Chain A
Amino acid sequence: MYSLTMEDKSEIPPGTLYMLVLKTLARLGEMHGYGIAQHIQQISDDVLQVEEGSLYPALQRMLIKGWVVAEWKQSESNRRARFYRLTADGRKQLAREVKEFERVMAAIVRVIRPA
């Protein structure tokens, strides 16, 4: 069983979910929703917890924007699953978002670093 308390997990910072999903897809190539959520959780050492309630609407949004495409395939466990893949637009978007995030992050770090 698991016994995680609230302190162990964090909400994903607002506005970064798209970036995390895009980055995950960039790294894994093709993945279904569950896999994406798992991946983010593992890589972040369980700090970042992706709520399904936000993941699937976000994926839909990215489909509309054309950043990802989806395809139904057999998964590793022999189930039918929808696999998402990055498009060229998605790659550009990822670069933009990462750049923007690092800029903001650096700024925040400068503000909170002890003088």
Chain B
Amino acid sequence: MRELLRRFRHLLHRDEFERELEEEMRHHLALSAEQRGDAGASRQFGNITLLREESRSMWTWTIWEQFLQDLRYGLRSMAANPLFTAIATISLALGIGANTAIFSFMDAILLRTLPVKNPQELVVFQWRAKTQPGVIHGMTGSRFGDKTGINSPNFPYPAFQMLRANPDAVSTVFAYAVAYRHLNVVVHRQAEFAEGLYVSGGFYEGLGVTPAAGRLIGDEDDKTGAPAVAVLSWAYWQRRFDGNPAVVGQSILVNNLPFTIVGVSSPEFFGVNPGAQPDLYVPLHAVPSLSTFRQETERRDFFDGNYYWVEMMGRLRPGVSREQAQTVLSARFQQYASSTATTAKERVEFPALRLEDGAGGLDSLRRQYSKPLFVLMAMVGLILTIACANIASLLLARTAARRREIAVRLSMGAGRMRVIRQLLTESLLLSLIGGVAGLLVAVWGIRSLTWLLANGRERFTLHATLNWQVLLFTFVLAVITGTLFGLAPALQSTRVDLTAALKQVRANEGLGRTRRFGLGYVLVTAQIALSLLLVVGAGLFVRTVANLHSVNLGFNQEKLLLFSLDAKQAGYKDAALAQFYADLRDRFGQIPGVTSVGLSQFPLVAFYWNSTDIHIPGVALPEGEETGLSIVDPGFLPTMQIPILRGRGLEERDMTSPRVAVVNDEFVKKYFPNLNPLGRRFGLGKEKPADIEIVGVARKSLYNSVKEKETPALAYIPYTQNLDGLGRVFFELRAAGDPLSLVPAVRRLVHDASSNVPVAEVKTQSAQIDETISEERTFAELCSGFAALALGIACVGLYGTMAYAVTRRTSAIGIRVALGAMRGQIAWMVLREVLAVAAVGVVAGLSVAWATTRFVESYLFGMKQHDPWVLAGAVVVLVAAAGAAGFGPAWRAARIDPLVALRHE
């Protein structure tokens, strides 16, 4: 205790103690000098500094004092080398930050569990088959295929009833169906689209979700004839109703039908799919009343055993494994499916039921993003590797350049451990600053990645939060790199022969290149190889996007505004509906700045597809032959600037007159090769009369995607010809100026026409096309960014290594110049070395690129994975960058004055 007090006193009066110690030693020295004569005294005393340090270290605080000293010194030396500090910090920050951001997204997408009770007990029902099973007569929902077959989560409602009735393996089974068409919700006379989910009565109970207000949907709500009720999601309740608890019991209009809000689900519950957050939940049995053909839908959805549309989840009984439950349930479903088969063809293959892990909810998002994220992760991993290699080579080079400083410190009496500790403190300090900057990069990166992945979608539901474990991991990795590569040269350079080091002449340093294949060069070469890999990747994606952009669309995408309206959901029908759209179209045409207006069932190049059976009198077609359809108004083709090649375009009179159509030249090529198609007739749909007359031929344009290999044969049909099928439509407005400036006028006109009809999906045609190639664009943007980053880091590493190499060889170069070497020769000597390093790196990088680009082949368009232009371009870029990085040191070497250089020693 008293000892501690004494130590404290020492700390407070440190200077005094120091002075006293100093004086005491002088006293000692003086006395022994008196006795022995001056000569040997100070020598005999030995290393005074060391002695003083040791005496001081007795007081223990020294270790902290020295740490603070090291820190101060480290900061000062960082400030003295701003370039080095900046490069090292930036490369570390990018490596740490980018990795953390990407991994945080991987975590959010691949590893998140549903916020419900015991999510590990949940299973998702799917079926799998090699080919489309014959027992499936119709389907609404998603299916996805791979090389081995097709998978789908959709089942017939009777199968759900059958499975729910036998709760032996799975305690509860509940069903739901996504409302693929947005629901038109009118609240306080304001119409808005909302995302809906139809749920069975056992949905909330099975998941274990609790209400935040009111009650949730139960079995009594989900049956025919039950009062129409709806549950709000917490987010929708907050957004649309300001979290007002009084909305429970209120009535809202959904697709023009009154629904009573009975409750709000708990705040953390976002639905069963992390990729989609429904606003509104209504019972499955409300589906027919919300649909266009109520009775037909009811019969099909609830009584047709061959119509697959509901998705199911279940909760395993405690102690029952997923495999056991699957064995029981798949046998039962097999029995069900065979009972619905009526012909031999339908018995060929039945869909096989499978149970998937349901803890993470549905996996649509995982399917969509996991592969791009793995590609991104690989790129970011490369960046981290490059950054670490960069830190390593910079530290190596710097310590080499500091040999002299270290030798001075050693000869002045610094202990070896002390110098090593100093160097370690510096590299740790660097890692720390890099880590903090990395944190900022991670936060910013998550934000911009959300923005990139959301890609303009208004309500993007994927939200990643900063993953601290990953941040810690990458940070520790950076610290270890810093320590390792700070320590190795520290150990080495503290063991130097002081005299030689002070003179800056090293035994192994001849006149030529020294240690050409040292660790530093290996690191720089590796960086160049990895950068090449990223540059090749960037080149491939950039060229892919350029190819996609330069595809001949067949129409003019400039200055074109798109938006959709659905007046049918607001209660308009048949002729009134057609009239509503026609009136609006006329009014849109009068907006100042609108040069032309068109209307279509869906926009071009937006992944929409409509096709139907076709038959042509006098032309033999294979059974099931289909043609593409484009349901339009007369203004569509002129607005899109799709030219008419023969005959005439659609006109206003065609809207009411006998049935006519314009077809594209692909249609002519396919069905009337070398014949005049004008005046010929065809029929759409089975057993319908061939009463549609071809009046014109339009030039072909892209239909559903810029990546489509061949444009389909297409018929443009006036929208008035099939009023039953008329529902939502898209308008195309050709503008004289900025198309988005028309939006307020459009909204006002629509609201004036009917306050129950919302304007939705507002965007320009160019943005629409960009959206369909968003994955490629995201890759191109990110990969270009990463490549530039990697290139920058690698060049800086090369520059640093070469600059230090030149500094180290100043005297050798001076001798050469003194002996008559030309400046050009000297510069070339350095440049040659740079280019040699670059060449080795490029060759290594190319061979890796050759082997690995096949992983991204599926993302490429209009080119091969080994595109010679991309590979050659990447090599040129790298060699040029390396040359630029080496130019500085080479120029400096060439300017070395032999006199100064030789005096340098």
Could you tell me which A residues sit within 8 Å of B by CB distance? Answer: 2, 32-34, 37, 51-53, 56-57, 60-61, 63-66, 72, 75, 77, 79-82
A52 near B24: Cβ-Cβ < 8 Å: no
Across-interface contacts of B20 in A (CB, < 8 A): 72, 82
| Residue in chain B with minimal CB distance to A79 | B27
Across-interface contacts of B3 in A (CB, < 8 A): 64-66
A80 near B23: Cβ-Cβ < 8 Å: yes
B51 near A56: Cβ-Cβ < 8 Å: yes
Shortest Cβ distance from A43 into chain B, in angstroms?
17
Sample of 30 A–B contacts (CB below 8 Å)? A32-B24, A32-B27, A33-B24, A33-B28, A34-B27, A34-B31, A34-B32, A37-B28, A52-B25, A52-B51, A53-B51, A53-B54, A56-B21, A56-B24, A56-B55, A57-B54, A57-B55, A60-B55, A60-B59, A63-B6, A64-B6, A64-B58, A64-B59, A66-B6, A79-B30, A80-B23, A80-B27, A81-B24, A82-B24, A82-B27
How many pairs of A and B residues are in contact by the CB < 8 Å rule? Answer: 61
Query: Does any Cβ of A come within 8 Å of B36's Cβ?
Result: yes
A57 near B31: Cβ-Cβ < 8 Å: no
The interface centre, meaning the residue of A64, A65, A77 with most chain B CB atoms within 10 A of its CB, is: A64
Query: Does any Cβ of A come within 8 Å of B2's Cβ?
Result: yes
Query: Does any Cβ of A come within 8 Å of B241's Cβ?
Result: no
B58 near A52: Cβ-Cβ < 8 Å: no
Q: How long is the Cα–Cα vector from A15 to B50 in the complex, in angstroms? A: 21
B46 near A53: Cβ-Cβ < 8 Å: yes
Q: How long is the Cα–Cα vector from A56 to B46 in the complex, in angstroms? A: 13
Across-interface contacts of A63 in B (CB, < 8 A): 6
> Which residue of the partner chain, among B2, B27, B50, contacts A66 with CB atoms under 8 Å?
B2
Query: Does any Cβ of A come within 8 Å of B45's Cβ?
Result: yes
Q: How long is the Cα–Cα vector from A32 to B55 in the complex, in angstroms? A: 16
Shortest Cβ distance from B278 into chain A, in angstroms?
72
Q: How long is the Cα–Cα vector from A79 to B32 in the complex, in angstroms? A: 13
Q: How long is the Cα–Cα vector from A87 to B744 in the complex, in angstroms? A: 94
Shortest Cβ distance from B46 into chain A, in angstroms?
5
The interface centre, meaning the residue of A32, A51, A57, A65 with most chain B CB atoms within 10 A of its CB, is: A57
| Residue in chain A with minimal CB distance to B20 | A82
Q: How long is the Cα–Cα vector from A52 to B33 in the complex, in angstroms? A: 14
| Residue in chain A with minimal CB distance to B56 | A60
Q: How long is the Cα–Cα vector from A56 to B31 in the complex, in angstroms? A: 15
Query: Does any Cβ of A come within 8 Å of B7's Cβ?
Result: yes
Q: How long is the Cα–Cα vector from A53 to B29 in the complex, in angstroms? A: 12
> Which residue of the partner chain, among A2, A57, A65, contacts B51 with CB atoms under 8 Å?
A57
Across-interface contacts of A52 in B (CB, < 8 A): 25, 28, 45-46, 51
Across-interface contacts of A72 in B (CB, < 8 A): 20
Q: Mark B272-291, 1 if CB is under 8 A from A, else 0.
A: 00000000000000000000
Across-interface contacts of A82 in B (CB, < 8 A): 20, 23-24, 27
A37-B28, A64-B6 known; 8 new pairs, CB 8 Å cut-off, are A57-B54, A57-B55, A57-B58, A64-B7, A64-B58, A65-B3, A66-B2, A81-B24
Q: 5 tightest A-B contacts by CB?
A: A60-B58, A34-B31, A34-B28, A57-B54, A57-B55
Q: How long is the Cα–Cα vector from A32 to B29 in the complex, in angstroms? A: 13
Across-interface contacts of A66 in B (CB, < 8 A): 2-3, 6
Across-interface contacts of A80 in B (CB, < 8 A): 23, 27
The interface centre, meaning the residue of A32, A33, A53, A72 with most chain B CB atoms within 10 A of its CB, is: A53
Across-interface contacts of B24 in A (CB, < 8 A): 32-33, 56, 81-82
| Residue in chain A with minimal CB distance to B58 | A60
CB interface residues, B 54-100, toward A, < 8 Å: 54-55, 58-59
Across-interface contacts of B6 in A (CB, < 8 A): 63-64, 66
Q: How long is the Cα–Cα vector from A102 to B700 in the complex, in angstroms? A: 112
| Residue in chain B with minimal CB distance to A65 | B3
The interface centre, meaning the residue of B2, B23, B27 with most chain A CB atoms within 10 A of its CB, is: B27
Q: How long is the Cα–Cα vector from A56 to B24 in the complex, in angstroms? A: 9
The interface centre, meaning the residue of A34, A37, A81 with most chain B CB atoms within 10 A of its CB, is: A34
Q: How long is the Cα–Cα vector from A68 to B257 in the complex, in angstroms? A: 98
Shortest Cβ distance from B653 into chain A, in angstroms?
110
The interface centre, meaning the residue of A32, A52, A63, A81 with most chain B CB atoms within 10 A of its CB, is: A52
| Residue in chain A with minimal CB distance to B3 | A64
Shortest Cβ distance from A92 into chain B, in angstroms?
14
Q: How long is the Cα–Cα vector from A80 to B23 in the complex, in angstroms? A: 9
Q: How long is the Cα–Cα vector from A61 to B55 in the complex, in angstroms? A: 8
Q: How long is the Cα–Cα vector from A64 to B776 in the complex, in angstroms? A: 71
Across-interface contacts of B23 in A (CB, < 8 A): 80, 82
